[in-house]
Structure 1
Amino acid sequence: MPRCDLCRQASRYLSLGSARPFSTTVRCRQPTSSEPNYPGHQPLSFAQNALLAVGSGVVGVLDTTRGDLIATLSESTASTFLPSLHAAMTALPEGRQIMRDQPTIDSSLLSPLKKLRRGTLGREYVEWLERGDVTPDTREPVRYIDSPTLAYTMLRYRQTHDLYHTLFSLPPTLPHELSLKVVELSNMSLPVAAFSSVFGPFRLSASRRDTWIRDWVPWALRTGREGRCLVGVYWEKRWEQGVGDLRRELGVKRNDALGVEGRWKGYRQIRETERELRRTGEWMDEPEEW
């Protein structure tokens, strides 16, 4: 029986990059009876999905820089968390409106946002993207989730992830990406966030990892637990809202623990830029404790 492309991909994952091919021959029935449910959808059998989950998980442990494998793992384990995340998202009118409109975030939105005042969500989002030299178009598309509704829920999470960075003034560095994963774990109960939170810190040195755990993990767990479900925020309707005002509305705060700014350069630089803009009157948002 011919092997499907997906099985070949998973076998490569499981071989862990070895020069020798994976010793177990992986074969599965092609999903010929299942038609795609949305553009880009790749229907999977139960065996294919399980194989993909194991393969992406094993290699993801060894190489936590592989964002494509993390995305694949999140989809292949989606049945364990995505229905509850969707339920939390639609528990409020704002989330239900998102599901009706199904907006997407891409680079076509950015030009008008550059004209907004500093301190607004839209302008600070653009500033964050430019600082990190990234664009909204780099997020992986959703492929392996059968339900179009749940597929959009996953897409929405991916496309709004960088807005969470903006909300908390977290730069695009490894320690702060890990901090945000802990927030997402606490806020949305995502298994892939748990995966990143457990294995990702081992990419830090031992001393830096200990400092990160003390400085960021308690804040991230508390913030995710006490704040509103972030994926259920209609960010596109809040571009002109001040980020400080938005944090107050969502019931979250940035990490203001004693000494944190001094120990984390990227975070300190973002906060110092904001303070300077406040002093010169260029920051439109209402003052917070900073």
Structure 2
Amino acid sequence: MWSGPWVPPRFAAGRVDVPLRGVRHGAAGLLYPGHIPTSPLQKALLAAGSAGMALYNPYRHDMVAVLGETTGLRALKVLRDQMRKDPEGAEILQKRPRISLSTLDLDKLRSLPEGSLGQEYLCFLDVNRVSPDTRAPTRFVDDEELAYVIQRYREIHDMLHTLLGMPTNILGEIVVKWFEAVQTGLPMCILGALFGPIRLSAQSLQVLVSELIPWAIQNGRRAPCVLNLYYERRWEQPLRALREELGITDPPTVHVRGLA
């Protein structure tokens, strides 16, 4: 019986969802709450340090977040422009929805039919013991709209796991990173896709290269920009119907959850 997503204690309290609007905060000229202005040299140093730590330990989500913010400016502008040109994406940019435990109506999602996006998303959180509140807030992006774009990307990451049917083990994360790399062009996704397999066993590496990477690349190219989906309005949509809408096919018939 579903009893709500597991929430790590250190993330369960004190979270405030900020819409990331373009209002300067304080004498330092901050663009949004939590913003840390940095020079190009500081960004380069942060990128180098975070890349080393992220490659050493892919589960250091804080380092992955810093790497994404300090290296992704060009890709974020492209994603922002794609969102502006799409009616659904443009509305997301304007309304700035957030995905967190404070914004999700868990009772409503719990009551949705089996197989719906909302129900499957909750099941993903439960089975994999993850919470949407573990996503780090944006700090080093010096543009408030682009800061929201990367925040949105982070907050739909678990939605992509749900859409692709991938668990949160190393192999599942690498598959999602290949999909995200094709979809977003973010350097951190490309690095994760290329260097993540270093820690895999020979069996998992063979499955990844021969079956899962080609599948992820094909689906990433075929699907429209996943940032243009207002997921909060699609909870009742059957997951299979959404996959068909996006052109996402079933993953290869391998037991990804049992591989590492």
Partner of 1:218: 214
Instruction: Answer yes or no: is the 8 Å Cα contact 2:46–2:66 preserved in 1.
Output: yes
Higher relative contact order (CA 8 A, sep 6+): 2
Q: C-alpha offsets along residues 185-237 of structure 1, whole Å, 9 cap, x if unaligned?
A: 11111211111111111111123212221120000000000111111111001
Q: C-alpha offsets along residues 30-65 of structure 1, whole Å, 9 cap, x if unaligned?
A: xx9842111111111122111111111122222222
Partner of 1:54: 48
Give me the whole-angstrom Cα distance separating, in 1, the residues matched to 2:257 and 2:36. Answer: 42
Percent of aligned pairs sharing the same letter: 38
Q: Of residues 235, 238, 257 in structure 2, which corresponds to 1:239?
A: 235
Partner of 1:44: 38
Deviation, structure 1 residue 265: 4.3
Partner of 1:264: 256
Q: Of residues 109, 112, 115 in structure 1, which corresponds to 2:108?
A: 112
Partner of 2:18: none
Does 2:135 match 1:139?
A: yes
Does 2:74 match 1:80?
A: yes
Give me the whole-angstrom Cα distance separating, in 1, the residues matched to 2:46 and 2:228. Answer: 28
Does 2:164 match 1:168?
A: yes
Instruction: Answer yes or no: is the 8 Å Cα contact 1:64–1:199 preserved in 2.
Output: no
Give RMSD over aligned pairs: 1.7
Give me the whole-angstrom Cα distance separating, in 2, the residues matched to 1:68 and 1:51. Answer: 15
Q: C-alpha offsets along residues 127-155 of structure 1, whole Å, 9 cap, x if unaligned?
A: 10011111110101000101110000000
Larger radius of gyration: 1
Instruction: Answer yes or no: is the 8 Å Cα contact 2:171–2:208 preserved in 1.
Output: yes
Q: Of residues 181, 185, 189 in structure 2, which corresponds to 1:185?
A: 181
Q: Mind listing any 5+ residue stretches in structure 1 that lack a counterpart? A: 1-31, 268-290
Q: TM-score, normalised by structure 1?
A: 0.76
Q: TM-score, normalised by structure 2?
A: 0.85
Partner of 1:272: none
Instruction: Answer yes or no: is the 8 Å Cα contact 1:171–1:266 preserved in 2.
Output: no
- Aligned length, in residue pairs: 232
Instruction: Answer yes or no: is the 8 Å Cα contact 1:75–1:145 preserved in 2.
Output: yes
Deviation, structure 1 residue 167: 1.0
Q: Of residues 128, 149, 153 in structure 1, which corresponds to 2:124?
A: 128
